[in-house]
Structure 1
Amino acid sequence: MNNKTNYRMKKFIMSALLIGATAAAQAQSIPVYLDESKPIEQRIDDALSRMTLEEKIAVIHAQSKFSSPGVKRLGFPDLWTDDGPHGVRPDVLWDEWEQAGQTNDSCVAFPALTCLAATWNPQLARMYGENLAEEALYRNKSVMLGPGVNIYRTPLGGRNFEYMGEDPWLASRMVVPYVQGLQSKGVAACVKHYALNNDEEYRHQVNVIVSDRALHEIYLPAFKAAVQEGGAWSIMGAYNLYQNQHNCHNATMLNKILKKDWGFDGVVISDWGGCHDTEEAINNGLDLEFGSWTNGLSEGTSNAYDNYYLAVPYKKLIQEGKYTTKELDEKVRRVLRLFYRTTMNRHKPYGFLCSESHYQTALKIAQEGIVLLKNDKINELKNEPLLPLNLQKMKRILVVGENAIKMMTVGGGSSSLKAQKEILPLDGIKARFADAEVDFVRGYVGDTVQSYNGVTVGRSLYETRTQAELTAEAVEKAKQADAVIFIGGLNKSDYQDCEGHDRKSYDLPYAQNEVIEAILKVNPRLVYVNISGNAAALPWINKVPAVVQAWFIGSEAGEAIASVLAGDVNPSGKLPFTWYASLGQCGAHATGSYPGNWREDYKIIDEEYKEGIYVGYRYTDANKLKPLFAFGHGLSYTTFKLGKVTTNTQHLTPSTKLTFTVPVTNTGKVAGSETVQLYIAAKQSKVDRPVKELKAFQKVYLQPGETRNVTLTIGADAVSYYDETANSWCAEPGTYEALIGTASDKLPTKYTFKLK
């Protein structure tokens, strides 16, 4: 080696040593709170120790409609939240509800959560969360305000379309993968509205009176699953009261149940304007306050957000010595934990918006969630069912109904979106049945509003003709049609499926019943497609051969509906709630519980849930009522047969599992999916028990003639009830029956076992 080479080698070695030493020195100089190699809790401790009182107060309340401040001095970015559970809401101005006028804040509108629940497919819930997170990341949103898992207690609930149905087990199994999918991308779920938010009318004033058993068995399980199994990073408090305290600062709900009993380590976020008192907020579990009013809480004040209950008023109480920073530090600790999981997570993926994969996911969920409620055979079709529509026999198709041309991604409250596209039902039908003559008539007028929150509705809904003229037109054209597709139901206007109000009636709105009855007199080949998040009375049900529940299904609505009507997709959705024949079959109404009674001062409504645990099918079962369509009901274009059930054991113990294996065969001519459902019935008990309760389900896809085994597993929790005396769950030894089938009213297989 010559001297020149030797010199170069020495220089290289010295440079490497110098670089290594510099890197080591730099590593040593990194503050603990920024050192990703350190555990998050250690980083939180370090960051908390560096924050001033003003910085601590700042991070626990909003600074704009949808953001709260980070800690600029320490390098923590602002935290941005956004509605909603079905798509990323368009950006609004800093301090107003009006849109900001951006051009890059359109989104894919995913189906509403009632549709997701109707898929009975947890894998789709995971995909839903992942896809939504990718759209949120593109828009720099760290917290998505959803999903919603409040129980479908009455079909009049204005916000039911945002939730996952009436059954706590179904909602639990669907919310967990949704939360996991969303948070796998570094975007926090904010599960809402915790809890008992079952009314929209006077939602700020309803004080819910409910038994502990009903609370724990019906209204809390989905929230508990989201926290303990899904690992939810944030929870949104509800507007209503429980035990005379608002749920955004409720000692029992937040401190005892959520944080102590369930071990929740995330952030409790107030619903917008849900905070009402500084000291209750300090003591009763609220961590981060958001508000609704443009001016904060005081008319005409500057720096309005500083007037929030957890802002200057809180700081003054500390400065005056009434409080130490103990409670404040606990709130900030939780907010910092959320920062590290979201805004400070340097390893989260990049987001992207309106991708082909997102539209495919939205379409898949919509198609799997659509429920075929009825499909009778018709004599004039040679004793064949009306659906799927046979183009060889159906050359002239008439589409009737305003909902065929009305955008459903627009309106409804905070879930309203600015979708990049929304395929309307009429357009989807025309595209799919291009070889047929497809005509359209309005039929009825429901809502002629042309925009909502700055988003226009796409096509004019203006109408000058009278209802008599519209009905006459529909009847005249129906005479010439081979099939009539009536697309009706509800919409997202006030007092329908909309935040802020409940429905005033169980009936279909506008003149829909009148038009349907008139059409049936001249053409019995009518398919009724119901667009809604709620059930409704269908007085003509025995005359209509085919009924489809199509939900609010987002961007791909028209294509999804048309694909099911044409038979390109075999419907496999199952109802996530009981479709009552009348409100008298609903426990909340039959017991006189809903909507509660005003107190003498007319400030609070006390609403006692007198039906207790008997919600949905639990009530109809107990009272031997036959609903219009049962919970879990959903038909197919093929047929299935369930074989003999086998088990791994005849006994269940608190520490073992009982597994049921059910062979399922597609006995029809087309491929399709069936959902096998398992319900548990207690044969004896020292307390009142429902006739049966859903405790397991699995969806299986089968080709014609194919047989596959479905496995359903339960543990002791499946036979447990909440013991109000012991304030804990109890699994009584004794005899139980597993009821297995394809709907809550179609359970032909029974298997008796014992809990030892």
Structure 2
Amino acid sequence: MKHSLFRICSLPVILLTLATQLMAQETVPPYLDDNQPIETRIEDALSRMTLKEKIALIHAQSKFSTPGCPRLGIPELWLSDGPHGVRMEFVWDDWNHADWTNDSCTAYPALTCLAATFNPKLAFEYGNAIGQEARYRKKDIILGPGVNIYRTPLSGRNFEYMGEDPYLSSQMVVPYIKGMQQNGVAACMKHFALNNQEKNRDRINVEVSDRALFEIYLPAFKAGVQEGGVWAIMGSYNKYHGQYCSHNERLVNQILKKDWGFDGVMLTDWGSAHDTDEAARYGLDLEMGTWTNGLTWGISSAYDNYYLAQPFLKKIESGELPESLLDEKVRRVLRLCFRTNMNRYRPYGCKLTPEHADIARRVAEEGIVLLKNENHFFPIEKGRYQKIAVIGENAVKQLSQGGGSSELKPQREISPLEGMIEKYGREHIVFTLGYASGEPNYSNELPSGLDADSLVQEAVKVAREADVVLFFGGLNKNFQQDCEGDDRRNMDLPFGQNELIEKLIEANPNTGIILISGNAVSMPWISQIDGLMQSWYLGSQAGTATANVISGEVSPSGKLPFSIPVKLEDNSAHYFGEESYPGVNNTQYYKDDILVGYRWYDTKKIKSRFPFGYGLSYTTFQYGKASTDKKSYQPDETVKLSFTLKNSGKRAGAETVQVYMSQKKPSVLRPVKELKAFKKVCLQPGEEQVVEIEVPVASFAFYDEGIADWKLENDKYMLHVASSSRQIHSTATIEVKNK
């Protein structure tokens, strides 16, 4: 009886609740209604905002956040550095670490390593994993990935980028962006554009031909916008044609937003805005970190005085600038909010999972490049040697630290020495430092405090008594090495490493070298060793991945994403003198034009130490003859290229097959060859596979400055199947005929 009475008495309450809910639904403003189209929500929110609220939305309130619009419930936007992982937390208004205990992350290999995998599927997993950790850390924008072109081996931030080839960068950045953004976290592709050096980065003016701009320096950005659907882009510090890139009329308004249709947010690098009128008129949407060098200093609490803050407000109020300029910026920031922190359906994220560690390890393993392996120096299987000498600071240095804004605070970083001990047993490994650098610093080189001669003497003694020597050297992320803010001084190994290597080889000829860097280095000792690996800043799983490759549990499959020159003067940027690099009177002319990287070496017939796309394996591969589905094509068609690939060795392995294009009789200068496709193929010993690769005919076009557009000529084209830019195995010739 009581139960029935309760049901009757509860009925009015239930009806009242339902009525209240219906009324509430009817009064939800459109901008808060997830069922409304985003553009409708944007216009509704914009119509409700005051002028001051709109101004507040487009500039920072702290080092890494913007204020949102509290009255309307529009949240703050939180940004974090980290193309390779989510950076540690900072205090509100300066560059000091906040020293939280819960802001550690998985450190992923640097983007040079990701590019060296030539594996777009892995790039998607990489981006997704960082997106998951960023989402868990309540970040809305991750300031990465970087896609600037490797033009000189001295550039301090090359390790953050994806190499010298625009096609490779394009193919790797798109899945990275998609992986990250499926978590409701915006990727922020950077640095737009022409940030190809760190020396004088905030003053240098770049003069470059339109052809080089569109063929070499912009394709990865365009792919990120049109194929990746990136939600944010960061401007660079430098100038282009005399105007700063973060508010550059041609780059931002014309190319990025009008021609490419970018609908996201264009934001500054920290300190890259310089003028209110230009920022207002030429496409800058969000101003972060003005009056700072982005590394070590800044003016305190200056946010209301930013170029797009009170100065912009006053110019609107006085009629000097129209409010419509502000409204367009606010629309873009609101669109970003609705995609990220106002998207109620985005996942919650996670961090430091076993899956994240696995991804970091696999990227590291696939990215390590075997450069030399005479007399089967590698792999060093367990039991082959009783005493393995591990020598070199980079075997123990925490390389996720330093480098500038890419610094990370991993929960754990397994060093190469730890990985080797875990793999071979402590009783078989003896370690000594050999050389030493100081702590990471962003403004000068710090001494290590250790006696260099004593370190060398001990290293020689250890080498002499070992069965095999593995030297772990290269660069690190200290000032004027692989570090933001300045470039390297030369191509030599720092801290006396070249001299140390010579002494180690003399003490024990059975010496192999593992270089860890994001840049090419000189190798005066190369003819004296049998084994050489190019490794990278590998992050949390560095030691495990390195030991797996050295021991042979994993066969190396990485390919160089940049060419390694014999000497610095052979590089295209340096060949033409100071006007080409680093510039004279703060202006730099890209005299190498479209001939960057392997395009330069191949066309000018200059021998590189190791060519782009090069990398050995512990097995061997046999290429069959290439053929196409037909011989003649229209511009809108796709060439279907096929050939056989056989693992002719005794180990499982992966080979990255590369397809380069050459034109028979071009009307303009064209490189000897250009990368147009690649595919990573995994094969068991003795396995043979028919490899099929599709190449769009439209990709054969060049940028014609006479018509300011792409041009595809009727001609014969050669498609070269290769294992590097210098190692062609088969060629198929086709003809292109315009209708």
Q: TM-score, normalised by structure 1?
A: 0.94
**Which residue of the other structure, out of 284, 288, 308, is the alignment partner of 2:286?**
288
- Distance in structure 1 (CA, Å) of the matches to 2:299 and 2:151: 41
Q: Does 1:159 align with 2:144?
A: no
SS across alignment from 2:644: strand
Q: Deviations over 1:499-528 (max 9, x none)?
A: 001000111112111111112123211110
Q: Does 1:728 align with 2:719?
A: no
SS across alignment from 2:348: coil
- Distance in structure 2 (CA, Å) of the matches to 1:521 and 1:281: 60
Aligned match of 1:648: 629
SS across alignment from 2:146: coil
After the TM superposition, which residues 351-366 of structure 1 pair with which residues of structure 2 at under 5 Å, given as runs?
351-366=349-364
Aligned match of 1:488: 473
Q: Does 1:688 align with 2:669?
A: yes
- Distance in structure 2 (CA, Å) of the matches to 1:354 and 1:75: 31
The alpha carbon displacement at 1:661 in A equals: 1.7
Change (3 A) 1:46 1:436: same
Aligned match of 2:561: 576
SS across alignment from 2:98: coil
- Distance in structure 1 (CA, Å) of the matches to 2:495 and 2:580: 24
Does the 8 Å contact 1:86/1:111 carry over to 2? yes
The answer to which of 430-439 and 697-706 deviates more is 430-439
The alpha carbon displacement at 1:49 in A equals: 0.1
Does the 8 Å contact 2:235/2:268 carry over to 1? yes
Aligned match of 2:613: 632
The alpha carbon displacement at 1:584 in A equals: 2.0
Aligned match of 1:702: 683
Q: Deviations over 1:7-53 (max 9, x none)?
A: 99998987776655444322211101011111000000000000000
Q: Does 1:386 align with 2:371?
A: no
Aligned match of 2:417: 426
**Which residue of the other structure, out of 429, 443, 467, is the alignment partner of 1:438?**
429
Aligned match of 2:402: 411
Q: What letter is aligned with 1:464?
A: L
Does the 8 Å contact 2:292/2:298 carry over to 1? no
Does the 8 Å contact 1:397/1:436 carry over to 2? no
- Distance in structure 1 (CA, Å) of the matches to 2:689 and 2:492: 42
Aligned match of 2:173: 175
Q: Deviations over 1:533-553 (max 9, x none)?
A: 000110110111000011111
CA RMSD of aligned residues (A): 2.1
Q: Does 1:566 align with 2:551?
A: yes
- Distance in structure 2 (CA, Å) of the matches to 1:49 and 1:64: 26
SS across alignment from 1:106: coil
Aligned match of 2:387: 396
Structure 2 portions without partners, runs of 5+: none
Change (3 A) 1:300 1:438: closer
Q: What letter is aligned with 1:545?
A: D
- Distance in structure 2 (CA, Å) of the matches to 1:102 and 1:112: 24
Q: Deviations over 1:94-139 (max 9, x none)?
A: 0010011211001110000000000000001000110001110111
Q: Does 1:672 align with 2:658?
A: no
Does the 8 Å contact 2:291/2:298 carry over to 1? no
Change (3 A) 1:549 1:597: closer
SS across alignment from 1:641: strand
Aligned match of 1:128: 126
**Which residue of the other structure, out of 451, 454, 468, is the alignment partner of 1:465?**
451
Does the 8 Å contact 1:65/1:292 carry over to 2? no
Q: What letter is aligned with 1:643?
A: G
Aligned match of 2:80: 82
Q: What letter is aligned with 1:641?
A: Q
Change (3 A) 1:77 1:521: same
Does the 8 Å contact 2:627/2:732 carry over to 1? no
Aligned match of 2:438: 448
Aligned match of 1:340: 338
Change (3 A) 1:84 1:262: same
Structure 1 portions without partners, runs of 5+: 378-384, 454-459, 600-604
Does the 8 Å contact 2:292/2:299 carry over to 1? no
**Which residue of the other structure, out of 315, 318, 325, is the alignment partner of 1:317?**
315
- Distance in structure 1 (CA, Å) of the matches to 2:92 and 2:666: 57
SS across alignment from 1:388: coil
The alpha carbon displacement at 1:301 in A equals: 8.9
Q: Percent of aligned pairs with the same residue?
A: 52
Q: Deviations over 1:609-628 (max 9, x none)?
A: 00000000000001111111
**Which residue of the other structure, out of 111, 114, 127, is the alignment partner of 2:112?**
114
Q: TM-score, normalised by structure 2?
A: 0.96
Q: What letter is aligned with 1:394?
A: Y
Does the 8 Å contact 1:134/1:351 carry over to 2? yes
The answer to which of 30-39 and 13-22 deviates more is 13-22
Aligned match of 2:571: 586
Q: What letter is aligned with 1:26?
A: A
Aligned match of 1:46: 44
Aligned match of 1:499: 484
SS across alignment from 1:85: coil
The answer to which of 20-29 and 395-404 deviates more is 20-29
Equivalent residues, number: 730
SS across alignment from 2:526: coil
- Distance in structure 1 (CA, Å) of the matches to 2:447 and 2:101: 25
